[in-house]
Amino acid sequence: MATRLKAKEADLGEFSVQRILPHTEKKMVGPFIFVDYIGPADFPAGHGVNVRPHPHIGLATITYLFEGSILHRDSLGNVQEIFPGDVNWMTAGKGIVHSERETLEVRATNHQLNGLQCWVALPEDKTEIEPSFTHIKKEILPHIIREGLVMRLIAGSAYGQSAPVKTYSKMFYLDILADKGSIFEIPDPEMETAIYVQQGEVNIAGDSYSPGDFILLGNETRVEALNCSRLIMLGGEKFERTPYIHWNFVAYSRDEINDARQRWENGEFPAIPGDNLEFIPLPSRKL
C-alpha cells in the first residue's frame, strides 16, 4: 500500500527546506538516506544560498535543480556551477569538504531556486573510498521518450538505460514529464520506490497525489498522470543494514561518527581552495 510521507521544515538560515528523508516511518528508500526539497524560493538581491564549508563522510550527494543555480566548491579543488537538469554528484567516501553558494552575478539580482538535494548512502565496504566529484550536463544524460512521456535518467539504471555517473549500489533516479492520461510502470518492482510530485497530479492505485507529496510505494507498479505532471522517481535495492546519520556524516558505527566529529573539530579535514576562511561549526549534540 502506498504511503504519503509528510516532510518537515528545516531552517538553513536565509531559506528553509522541506526535509523528506530521513523520516520516522522510513529511514531510507533504496540507498537514498536524505532528501531535501529546496524551494521554491524567491531571493531579493544580496540574499540567497550561502552554505559555508562543511564536511561529509560515507555518502554521495546529488544536487538536481528545476530552477536557479548553485556554485559548488570542494576540497579537491572543483568549482562548478550547476544549472537545471544537470547533475552534481559528489562522493564523500572517507572525507570531503564542500560549500554551496552562488555566483556574484546571481546574488546581485532577484532570483529563484527550486530543486532537490539527496544523499545516497555508500555500502559498508565503500565508505573509505577516495572522495571524488562528477558534473554531468543534461544533454548527455540518457532520455527515455515514449508517447506522452519524457524521462531523464539522473543516476543509476532504469528502462534499459544507465546514467554516466558511477554509483556504488543498484539504484535509479528519474525526472519524468508526463502528459495528461499517460501511464507508466516503475522500473523494477523488486526495488524500493518513491515518487515526489513536483507539479501536476497523479493517480496511484486509486488515490491522487499533488505537488509536494512524497509517496512511498508498496506493491503498486503503475502511475497515471491526471494532468500534465512532473515527477521525481527514485529508489533502489533495499539496504540490509541502515547506517547511522548524524549531522553531515553517514557511517555504520558510532565510532566512525565520533572520529569524524573529532577530525572536524581539530581542523583535520582538507580545506577548500579559495573558500577556506569560513566553516560551519560542529554541532554540540552528539549521536
Average pLDDT, the chain: 96
Q: What is the pLDDT of residues 15-49, one digit of tens each?
A: 788 999 999 999 999 999 999 999 889 999 999 99
Does 109 reside within a domain? yes
DSSP, residue by residue, 105-158: HHHTS-EEEEEEEEEEEPPGGGTTSPPEEEEE-GGGS-EEEETTEEEEEEEEEE
Domain assignment present for 164:
yes
pLDDT for res 162: 98
Within a domain: 185: yes
CB 195 within 8 A of CB 35: no
Q: How many CA atoms lie within 13 A of 60 on its CB side?
A: 27
Q: What is the pLDDT of residues 56-104, one digit of tens each?
A: 999 999 999 999 999 999 999 999 999 999 999 999 999 999 999 999 9
276 part of a folded domain: no
Phi, psi angle pair for 91, to nearest 5°: -95, 115
Give domain status of residue 267, yes or no. Answer: no
Coil/strand/helix, residue 263: helix
Asked, as a colleague might, if the bond just before 22 is cis with ω within 30 of 0, I would say yes
Q: What is the pLDDT of residues 231-268, one digit of tens each?
A: 999 999 999 999 999 999 999 999 999 999 999 999 99
CATH code for the domain of 47: 2.60.120.10
> What's the rounded Cα separation, in Å, for the pair 225 and 112?
27
pLDDT at residue 205 above 90? yes
Q: What's the pLDDT at 15?
A: 75
Per the structure, the count of domains in the chain is 1
In a domain, residue 42? The reply is yes
Range of the domain at 194: 3-236
- The confidence band for 221, taking pLDDT boundaries of 50, 70 and 90, is very high
Taking the model in full, what pTM does it have? 0.97
Would 116 be classed as within a structural domain? yes
Cell 502511475 locates to 223
Q: Residue 286 falls within a domain, yes or no?
A: no
